[in-house]
Amino acid sequence: MEDDKIASVKKFDKAVSIHRWADEQWRTLPLADAIKALEHRRREADSDDDRILAMELNHLLCLAGREAEAVQILDEMIARMPDDVRFPIAKASLYLNWMDDPEPEKALEAINVALVRAHRTGYFRREALGAKARIVLKLGLGNELSRILEEIMSLEMKPGIPDIPMRERDFVDAAPFGMIADDVLARYNSYCPKRNCE
């Protein structure tokens, strides 16, 4: 048991160091050079490190306006890691938030992949549902948004299972009046009050 804890701490520390290294490349190098640095390090990375570097590279490619390359990397990682939830979430975010012309239908396809994985593994369920709420809001699907809010409220957070810790309500506040069913909205306002949602 103690060996497992030590291994877990070492893995966490290594992940933090990679994130910091990637952030330093972004802050100190021209964006194109930072991208090259991450691409070079990926070629020598093991599977765990490559997962982190691929997510960081996706972000830099989006900042550089190279969305097609970012999609290619995300598709590669989605295929390579069939239980990973965050890569399809990132793909959904790319289609919704990074494209010059957002493609919410493609974002919806990606987030549905994420949700299948989230429900199978238990990981990042709240994060995936929040991402889907933003997509269906963009599509104007009020009934679906109400259903997603019901599902978010019913989730039981499990200790040690990765997810976002905070309750979210940006997708509720952005919804036009009447889009969310009144009873669902009332319960969500109690679940996640405007001023102290946490």
Do the domain assignments include residue 174?
yes
What are the contacts of 67-71 at 24+ separation with CB within 8 A? 67/94, 67/98, 67/99, 70/94, 70/98
| Domain co-membership, 63 together with 135 | no
Residue 89 lies in a domain: no
- pLDDT of 1 reads 57
Residue 3 pLDDT > 80: no
Asked whether residue 118 falls in the same domain as residue 194, the answer is yes
Give the CB-side neighbour count of residue 95, counting CA atoms within 13 A.
Answer: 24
Co-location of 122 and 172 in the same domain: yes
**Domain total in the chain:** 2
The model scores a pTM over 0.85: yes
Q: Which domain holds residue 184?
A: 109-198
Q: For 7, list phi and psi in degrees, rounded to 5.
A: -65, -40
Same domain, 123 and 197: yes
58 CA to centre of own chain: 12
Residues 116 and 184 in one domain: yes
Is the separation of the CB atoms in 183 and 160 below 8 Å?
A: no
pLDDT of 140 above 70: yes
Residue 116 lies in a domain: yes
Range in 2-16, 21-35, 57-71, 72-86 with the lowest mean pLDDT:
2-16
Shared domain check, 77 and 113: no
Confidence of residue 11 (pLDDT cuts 50, 70, 90): confident
Asked whether residue 104 is assigned to any structural domain, the reply reads: no
pLDDT, tens only, 77-136: 999 999 999 999 999 999 999 999 999 999 999 999 999 999 999 999 999 999 999 999
Each residue's pLDDT tens digit, 146-197: 999 999 999 999 888 999 999 999 999 999 999 999 999 999 999 999 875 5
Do 113 and 193 lie in a common domain?
yes
Structural domain contains residue 127: yes
Predicted pLDDT at 53: 97
184 inside domain: yes
Cα 121 to its chain centre, rounded Å, is 15
| Rounded Cα distance, 115 and 34, in Å | 32
